[in-house]
Amino acid sequence: MPEGLIVKALSGYYYVKPEGSAPGEVIQCRGRGIFKKKGLTPLVGDQVIYTPTENGEGTVDEILPRMTELVRPPIANARLAVLLFSLKEPDLNLSLLDKFLVHIEHAGLRALICLTKEDLLGEADKAEEADPTEQVKQLYEEIGYGVIVTSSVSGLGTDEVRSRLAGEISVFSGQSGVGKSTLLNTMLPGLSLETSEISLKLGRGRHTTRHVELIELDNGGYVADTPGFSQLDFLELGVEELSSCFREFRELADDCKFRGCSHLHEPGCRVREALERGEVASSRYEHYVQFQQEMKDKKRRY
């Protein structure tokens, strides 16, 4: 029985790329009725076993075990999340970036932070004494995240991003209008994904990506160009799980005086002590407190 990879799901059809096939070769398949009975849904990124049918199409018979599974966007077997945040138009939003990182940590994916639109920065923005781009890069690299500064205009960082995607199923996500489709078009000339101008009044772009689809790279990688998000909620995450999604809190939390320390008010809290010593970034801790409150407010509403 042949195996393949679901690269697109649309209107009840699954587009399967057969194992070892040429770039762009896909077979349009339907899923077996048994999936519905079992409450299973084949996802983009699934490795599947399928049966070709006489009309040149096929039937997905079996979903092979998944390494990871994301709910939003619905995609299986992604291991790397590329989080794209623009330095300008819209301005860099660190609170939203930290929110994305929480969700990525909870999902068990690796994260690569991609700071886009470097070409829009003026000379004043790049002043040596207080270069905000360098400060943000240093902050997240010290926590342990990879950070690449890019420009689709000059090509800065494009090759580096491309090399990180080799052999991976990667998810491209971030705030709307930050240049996800533009960067993919730059890495893959001829792709021509739809892009949109930024509404300066709203400070965000229109959503231009309407379904999840894997884009095949020539280095063995696949990229899921996913719908942009202007906000995320915490419905899939428990309050007690939040601190473990802040990478720099994990090791410190083991030495807190109280097990299950919330890092908000308890005595002997190693996270707050590290904050006072400047070893935990104040912005990260402020966002942690903010997210705690958001989660509590949501819990009360539901």
Q: Which residues are annotated as a binding site for GTP?
A: 116-119, 174-182
Q: Binding site residues, as ranges?
A: 116-119, 174-182, 256, 261, 263, 269
Tokens for 123, please give them: 């000379």
Sequence-distant (6+) residues with CB within 8 A of 276 are none
DSSP the chain: --EEEEEEEETTEEEEEETTPPTT--EEEEEPHHHHHHT----BT-EEEEEE-TTS-EEEEEEPPPS-EETTTTEES--EEEEEEESTTTTP-HHHHHHHHHHHHHHT-EEEEEEE-GGG--TTTT-GGG-HHHHHHHHHHHHT-EEEE--TTT-TTHHHHHHHTTT-EEEEEESTTSSHHHHHHHHSTT-------EETTTTEEPP---S-EEEEPTTS-EEEE----S----TTS-GGGTGGGSHHHHHHHTTSSSTT--SSS-TT-HHHHHHHTTSS-HHHHHHHHHHHHHHHHHHHH-
The span from the CA of 221 to the CA of 28, in Å, is: 21
Residue with tokens 């705030």: 175
Q: Binding site residues for Zn(2+), as ranges?
A: 256, 261, 263, 269
For helices 282-301 and 94-107, what crossing angle results, to 10°?
Answer: 70
Residue with tokens 């078009």: 185
